[in-house]
Amino acid sequence: MTRLEFEVLIAAPIADVYAYAANPANWTEWYPGTTQVEGAPAALPQVGDRWEETLKVAGMQIRFSWRAVAVEPPHTWTLDGTGKIHGPFGLLVSGGTATLHYTLREEQGGTVCRRDVAYRYSNPLLRLANSLLLKRKIAAEVEAGLRNLGRVIEERQRAA
């Protein structure tokens, strides 16, 4: 299991950060590689809600099926997912599983957003590639995603 942890301080109230970040319909606006989200709940996710995300991760096209497993507004939410790799890689290897855990806390007049990612490839070849290269690429994408999230929310705050 690979684990990645990143934080960003966002100059916005915790309720606003939660309302935007926890809504899967917004992922295409801030997360690098997310190209489509389908079946997302009309409101903020509740435990048991499910949806699909299509994204490019470390050069691979992956379709994730997500399920909300814990939701405690506005402080935390956890998602479990299974991914299927598409394209040429998908013919050779299967996908894997991932858990996303978000924690928000008020600090310095804003909100610290922490994203913990735990993932595991089901294929030994991908596990080896992960230790050699993929983990660094994925970590960079996760970190860029949190920076984008902060930028987008802060821009929305200024416009409001």
Q: What is the model's pLDDT at position 126?
A: 76
- CATH code, domain carrying 124: 3.30.530.20
Q: What is the domain extent for residue 125?
A: 2-159
**Would the pTM of this model clear 0.85, i.e. be above it?**
yes
Closest CA to 62 of 138, 8, 2, 6: 138
pLDDT tens, residue order, the chain (160 aa): 999 999 999 999 999 999 999 999 999 999 999 999 999 998 899 999 999 999 987 777 889 999 999 999 999 999 999 998 886 655 455 678 999 999 999 998 999 999 999 999 887 877 788 788 888 988 999 999 999 999 999 999 999 8
Count of the separate structural domains present in the chain: 1
Rounded to the nearest 10°, the torsion over CA 9, 62, 117, 97 is: 160
User: What pLDDT shows up at residue 66?
Assistant: 97
38: helix, strand or coil:
strand
